[in-house]
Amino acid sequence: MARILLKNITKRWGDFVAVDRQSLDIKDREFLVLLGPSGCGKTTTMRMIAGLEEPTAGEVWIGDRMVNDDLPKDRDVAMVFQNYGLYPHMSVFNNIAYPLKIRKSVPRSRIPELVNEAAERVELVPFLHRRPRELSGGQRQRVALARAIVREPQAFLMDEPLSNLDAKLRVTMRAELKHLSHELQITTVYVTHDQIEAMTLADRIGVMNEGKIRQLGTPDEIYNDPANIFVADFIGSPSMNLISGRVEGHQFVTVDRHELTRTAMGAMSQAVLGVRAEDIHVVAAGSGDVDGQVYAAENTGENVVLTLQLGGQRITCKEDRYIRFSIGETVGLKFDSNKNYLFDPSTGDRVRSPGN
């Protein structure tokens, strides 16, 4: 178990910058999720921690050691790969036992006991004699997990471990991972592009884009207190409404001169208002802050997602699943004046009023 420290690490391939002077302090026993779209540098960051990629600049620390020059085998981390990376010519037992055998960290006689213990944790005991190709996707995933937990590494590194599973299995395995990480209490770095995985598993989330962490915080902070337009837009489904306009006398006015809601800031000549779909309520036409026309109504089963046309912009909101709307219908919108965010469109950063 250990703290992982990244100091200004950079990875470049020619002109392409995959990770750009990134620093990160991962606490002992923390479950940190790196979240971002593909190509944002999250996997590269993890591979630099594992030693599978050499940083162009910067330092990687695991525990109290600088490990830049250490081979992957000497870093004492365990990794779960997206494609599992199982050894197809070995039985499940030998797959799980491999790290113990190769490291000689435990006496040979204890190996069966440890393998069984790990297999039990992920419910693989009946399959120990099988080859990986005789297992289903979910079972292979468990083998990869068991191989990681069979020894007690300094840290776990998980690279999109659930992305090859079907949707239903992914939800089950997610819960199992959560349970497992709670039991094992080992520092974990988890890479994913799935925001639900990030929200549910993480102690802290680092939202990455273009080689940099754009915001680092608890799931709660990331969701309810986004630091910039990228994070606001990336987290949440449907994604947050981002409406262009300006602020006059604590009032947000869209580019089409619709007055929407009161804001904390007094005046901004250019602003982007961020409002989550669930923080806008549909009321009878004329009785809300503004009126709009129904552009589309989608029933997802648990909600109705409504897209409204408001001048040149579209706004989505989530409504109770029993309410029905017809396209073209005029409805009123009521904004929750406490639950909106203002961003500076030139920098993309959040604008906060002093004292808020």
Partner 1 sequence: MSAASRRKFWRTAQAVVIVIAVAIMIIPIIWIFMAAFKSHVDVYQLKLLFKPTFSNFATVFASPYKLGDKLVNSTIVATTTVAIAIPVATLASYSFSRFRMRGETTMLVMILATQFVPAVVIVLPFFVMFRDVGLLDTRTGLVLVNLAIVMPFAIWMIKGFIDGIPIDTEEAAMVDGSTRLQVIRNIVLPMAAPGLITSGIFCFIIAWNEFLFALIITNKESVTLPIGLALFKAEEGDLWNLLSAAGIIIMLPMFVLALIIRRHFVQGMTMGAVR
Instruction: Please give the residue ranges that form the binding site for partner 1 (CB under 8 A).
Output: 50-52, 71-73, 75, 77-79, 81-89, 98-99, 102-103, 132-133, 140, 144, 147, 157, 164
Residues 6+ apart with CB under 8 A from 15: none
Write out the DSSP string of 219-267: HHHHHHS-SBHHHHHHSTTTTPEEEEEEEETTEEEETT--EEEE-SSS-
Residues 6+ apart with CB under 8 A from 247: 253, 263, 265, 266, 267, 268, 271, 342
Shortest distance (Å) from residue 87 CB to partner 1: 6
| Residue in the block written with tokens 């109290």 | 64
Shortest distance (Å) from residue 73 CB to partner 1: 5
What is the C-alpha to C-alpha distance for residues 136 and 133, in angstroms, rounded to an integer? Answer: 8
Closer to partner 1 by CB, 34 or 260: give it. Answer: 34
Closer to partner 1 by CB, 144 or 232: give it. Answer: 144
Closer to partner 1 by CB, 84 or 127: give it. Answer: 84
Shortest distance (Å) from residue 38 CB to partner 1: 17
Closer to partner 1 by CB, 130 or 334: give it. Answer: 130
The one-character DSSP state at 88 is T
Shortest distance (Å) from residue 2 CB to partner 1: 15
What is the C-alpha to C-alpha distance for residues 69 and 54, in angstroms, rounded to an integer? Answer: 9
Closer to partner 1 by CB, 164 or 313: give it. Answer: 164
Shortest distance (Å) from residue 6 CB to partner 1: 18
Residue 238: is the preceding peptide bond cis (ω within 30°)? Answer: yes
Closer to partner 1 by CB, 98 or 325: give it. Answer: 98
Shortest distance (Å) from residue 86 CB to partner 1: 5
- What is the spatial order of strands in the sheet that 350-351 belongs to? 259-262, 251-254, 241-248, 268-275, 341-343, 350-351
